[in-house]
């Protein structure tokens, strides 16, 4: 019993010693209040910096990265997004891109030998001879095109389908092959429309094709990402290359197969355009065709050219409605006057169409075509046409470009400079015939 009481007394002493004093409680309270004040200060400081200091920096033109990841996504385009759009565009458009195979009947030549002496005296001397043994189909060219209607109309370059006496075969990305015929060729631009022939298919079983979507080439921006698809080198079907719009409104002279052609207002791109790509589509990242690949520079690197799709829309609609491409015809040979031509030839103006002259200022063989609207209007060599229907003819707004806005039968007023005399003349455009 005595031992138990002593233990009880010791426990009471222990707990009595452990109880906090009034000073200790006050210290704990001060520490707690300090912690709360620190938290409140941090919150306030963070709010102040984001709402006031950041605003001040941004107003001074200094970029500030916020913690809100949503804002970052709106301001920046991750590389993976562009890649995803490229892949999606290629998958979407590739079924509508076709290879155009050009074949002709080529003689089969057999080589054989004869002994002219009909004797073994000269050791069986043999002379090679050649003879034809029928013909066989051989590929003689290739190009690219793309489907523009459900019934199999295809847009391509005119130089791809310019040969006569050949056979055109359309090869789809799926591997299907169809014969094709040429419907129409543009007389001024390097454009042509061909048609897949399904005449051998049983009626009711005709295939419906997927046409591409046509964009608006007038909205293109330099630096915009573009995709080219084509039958590269005539061997690698639906080859994809990616680049940017390097320039707009370019004027070049394209040569090939002994032909030189002036191309105005075309698109320059660094997307690879190889032989065989001609006639293929140039695409934006939403899968719209904004150009038709037409040429490349052989002296530079990554310099290719495409015709703006807006140039082709007129042809497409005319062929769908009328079955042919119709152009208005004035009937003159002329040189667009530039500042250089004006200075070199001491001309009184630096704009207009100089009748009967070429790009070097030399006289053309023919100035005005016989029985043409120009001859009826008594236009003469060395006249300078200043305006066409009150539209000023300039280097960037050429006569060839302006006249495309009109149709055969339209009555047009021309403003003409002859020597020092300026006068007006009326003409009625007619349909151009090859």
Catalytic machinery residues:
159, 190, 278
Say if residues 237 and 95 touch (Cβ distance below 8 Å): no
Say if residues 184 and 192 touch (Cβ distance below 8 Å): yes
DSSP 227-238: EEEEEETTTEEE
For residue 286, give both structure tokens. Answer: 């939403």
CA 259 to chain centre: 23
For residue 307, give both structure tokens. Answer: 């015709």
Spatial CA neighbour of 193 closest among 315, 104, 327: 315
Say if residues 197 and 167 touch (Cβ distance below 8 Å): no
DSSP 282-349: EE-TTSEEEEEEEEE-SSSSS-EEEEEHHHHHHHHHHHHHHSS---EE--B-EEE--HHHHHHTT-S-
Distance CA 150, CA 217 (A): 23
How many CB atoms neighbour CB 319 within 10 A?
22
Spatial CA neighbour of 155 closest among 146, 163, 168: 146
**If you search the block for the tokens 């073994």, which residue do you land on?**
120
Distance CA 378, CA 155 (A): 39
Q: How many helices and strands (H and E) does the chain possess?
A: 9, 21
Q: How do 304-308 and 328-329 pair as beta strands?
A: unpaired
Distance CA 161, CA 145 (A): 11
Q: In residues, how long is the chain?
A: 434
CA 141 to chain centre: 23
E strand residue ranges, 91-219? 97-114, 127-147, 153-156, 167-171, 177-185, 192-196, 213-214
How many CB atoms neighbour CB 58 within 10 A?
12
Residue 108 contacts by C-beta under 8 Å, 6 or more apart in sequence? 132, 133, 134, 135, 136
For residue 412, give both structure tokens. Answer: 């047009």
């Amino acid at each position: 019993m005595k031992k138990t009481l002593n233990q009880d007394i010791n426990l009471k002493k222990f707990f009595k010693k452990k109880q906090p004093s009034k000073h200790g409680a006050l210290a704990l309270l001060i520490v707690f209040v300090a912690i709360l004040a620190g938290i409140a200060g941090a919150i306030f400081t963070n709010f102040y910096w984001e709402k006031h200091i950041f605003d001040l920096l941004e107003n001074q033109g200094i970029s500030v990265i916020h913690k809100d990841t949503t804002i970052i996504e709106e301001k920046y385009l991750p590389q993976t997004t562009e890649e995803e759009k490229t892949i999606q565009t290629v998958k979407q458009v590739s079924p509508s891109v076709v290879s155009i195979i050009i074949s002709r009947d080529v003689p089969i030549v057999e080589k054989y030998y004869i002994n002219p002496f009909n004797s073994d005296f000269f050791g069986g001397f043999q002379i090679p001879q050649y003879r034809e043994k029928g013909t066989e189909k051989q590929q003689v060219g290739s190009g690219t095109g793309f489907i523009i209607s459900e019934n199999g109309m295809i847009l391509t370059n005119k130089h791809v389908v310019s040969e006569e006496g050949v056979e055109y075969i359309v090869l789809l990305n799926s591997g299907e092959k169809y014969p094709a015929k040429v419907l129409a060729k543009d007389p001024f631009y390097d454009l042509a429309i061909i048609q897949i022939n399904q005449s051998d298919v049983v009626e009711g079983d005709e295939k419906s094709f997927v046409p591409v979507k046509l964009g608006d080439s007038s909205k293109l921006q330099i630096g915009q990402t573009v995709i080219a698809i084509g039958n590269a080198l005539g061997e690698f079907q639906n080859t994809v290359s990616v680049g940017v719009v390097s320039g707009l409104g370019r004027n070049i002279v394209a040569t090939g197969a002994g032909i030189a052609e002036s191309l105005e207002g075309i698109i320059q791109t660094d997307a690879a355009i190889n032989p065989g790509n001609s006639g293929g589509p140039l695409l934006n990242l939403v899968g719209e065709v904004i150009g038709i690949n037409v040429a490349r520079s052989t002296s530079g690197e990554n310099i290719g050219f495409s015709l703006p799709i807006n140039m082709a829309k007129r042809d497409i609609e005319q062929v769908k409605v009328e079955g042919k491409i119709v152009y208005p015809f004035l009937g003159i040979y002329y040189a667009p006057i530039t500042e250089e031509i004006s200075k070199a030839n001491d001309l009184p103006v630096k704009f207009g169409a100089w009748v009967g002259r070429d790009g070097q200022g030399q006289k053309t063989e023919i100035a005005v075509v016989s029985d043409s609207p120009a001859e009826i209007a008594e236009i003469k060599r060395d006249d300078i046409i200043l305006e066409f229907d009150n539209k000023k003819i300039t280097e960037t707004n050429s006569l060839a470009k302006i006249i495309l806005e009109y149709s055969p039968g339209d009555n047009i007023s021309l403003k003409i400079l002859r020597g020092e005399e300026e006068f007006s003349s009326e003409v009625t455009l007619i349909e151009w015939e090859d």
